Amino acid sequence: MISKKMVAAINDQIKAEFDSAFIYLGMSAYFEDSDLPGMAHWMRKQYEEEVEHAEKFMDHLYERGATVKIQEVAKPKEKYDGPLDVFKETLKHEQHVTALIHKLMDLAVEEKDYATQSMLQWFIDEQVEEEASVTAIIKSLELLGGSGGIYMLDRELGRRSGDDD
Ligand SMILES: [Fe+2]
Ligand SMILES: [Fe+2]
């Protein structure tokens, strides 16, 4: 049996994943507007990945016989101060999500909910990858700096496929 407390916490995480999805969809729109189609594409993939995360949590609740409650999604920001600002905010947001996942794990340990712990381990590993890939992009942007570098990085990020991370 999954506890009511665990179900409520996972439902909140489902909202957090959809919030993340919409933050990245907003960033994708910002990049489209800024004529950076590669970065827009990268953010669209990121959006799709966050929806998959939400669904993974939803499926866990269904498998455990619990009820999913879809909550309101927060309206994302529209204005940013260039690509470096966007990716720095992305890293900050991912660090926030990592902290949320760790809190969920703390609760699952407290509740002796081994099935949820096993499911959460995937997310803990995923967050390490997410933070690492965004940190690498920030480093490239800081190194490459000017518009020529941004153009090159835009082309590179445009090659992100659906299943690379
Ligand atoms: Fe996520
Ligand atoms: Fe994420």
Among all bound ligands, the one having the nearest atom to the CA of 50 is 1
CB atoms within 10 A of CB 146: 7
Among all bound ligands, the one having the nearest atom to the CA of 92 is 2
Q: Do 54 and 12 contact (CB within 8 A), yes or no? A: no
Neighbours of ion ligand 2 (CB under 5 A): 130
Mean pLDDT by 10 residues, the chain (165 residues): 97 98 98 97 98 98 98 96 97 98 98 98 98 96 82 91 63
Give dist(CA 42, CA 134) in Å, integer: 11
pLDDT at 161: 86
pTM confidence score: 0.93
Please compute Rg for the chain using Cα positions: 17
Superfamily of domain 4-71+80-157: Ferritin, core subunit, four-helix bundle (1.20.1260.10)
Give the Å distance between the CA of 40 and the centre of ligand 2: 16
pLDDT at 151: 85
Give the Å distance between the CA of 76 and the centre of ligand 2: 15
pLDDT at 145: 72
The domains of the chain are located at: 4-71+80-157
Give dist(CA 74, CA 79) in Å, integer: 15
CA angle 39-127-53, nearest 5°?
Answer: 80
Give dist(CA 22, CA 51) in Å, integer: 9
pLDDT at 103: 98
Give the Å distance between the CA of 105 and the centre of ligand 1: 15
* Residue with token string 């995480």: 13
* Residue with token string 């919030």: 19
